[in-house]
Amino acid sequence: MTEFFQSLGMSYEWAWALATIAGILLIALPLMLAVAMIIYVDRKVWAAINLRRGPNVVGPFGLLQSFADGLKVFLQETIIPSASNKGIFLLAPIVTFTVALAAWAVIPFSAEAVLANINVGLLYILAISSLSVYGVIMAGWASNSKYPFFSAMRASAQMISYEVSIGFILVCVVLYAGTFNLNEIVLSQKGHGFGIVNAYGFNLLLFPMWVMFFISSLAETQRVPFDLTEAESELVAGYQTEYSSMAFALFWLGEYANILLMCMLNAILFWGGWLPPVDWEPLYAVPGIVWILLKTFIFFFFFSWVMATVPRYRYDQLMRLGWKVFLPLSLVFVVLISGYLMATGHYGAAA
Q: Is residue 2 part of the contact set for another protein (CB under 8 A)?
A: no
The CA distance from 109 to 298, in Å, is: 16
Q: Is residue 111 part of the contact set for another protein (CB under 8 A)?
A: no
- Report in angstroms how near the CB of residue 119 gets to another protein at its nearest: 5
Q: Is residue 16 part of the contact set for another protein (CB under 8 A)?
A: yes
Give the list of residues 6+ apart from residue 50 with CB closer than 8 angstroms, or none: 308
Instruction: Please provide the DSSP assignment of 239-266 as one string.
Output: GGTT--HHHHHHHHHHHHHHHHHHHHHH
Contact predicate 184/350, CB 8 Å: yes
Single out the residue of 3, 8, 9, 13 in contact with another protein (rule: CB under 8 A): 13
Is the CB of 34 or the CB of 125 nearer to another protein?
125
Q: Is residue 160 part of the contact set for another protein (CB under 8 A)?
A: yes
- Report in angstroms how near the CB of residue 282 gets to another protein at its nearest: 35
Single out the residue of 109, 180, 256, 271 in contact with another protein (rule: CB under 8 A): 180
Give the list of residues 6+ apart from residue 156 with CB closer than 8 angstroms, or none: 133, 136, 137
Restricted to residues 136-155, the positions that interact with another protein (CB under 8 A) are: 137-138, 141, 149, 153
- Report in angstroms how near the CB of residue 156 gets to another protein at its nearest: 6
Angle of helix 146-177 versus helix 327-344 axis, rounded to 10: 10
Restricted to residues 213-252, the positions that interact with another protein (CB under 8 A) are: none
Instruction: With H, G, I as helix, E, B as strand and everything else as coil, classify residue 317.
Output: helix
Restricted to residues 278-337, the positions that interact with another protein (CB under 8 A) are: 316-317, 320
Give the list of residues 6+ apart from residue 252 with CB closer than 8 angstroms, or none: none
Q: Is residue 76 part of the contact set for another protein (CB under 8 A)?
A: no
Contact predicate 109/289, CB 8 Å: yes
Site residues (vs another protein, CB under 8 A): 13, 16-17, 85, 88, 118-120, 123-124, 126-127, 130-131, 133-134, 137-138, 141, 149, 153, 156, 160, 163, 180, 316-317, 320, 351
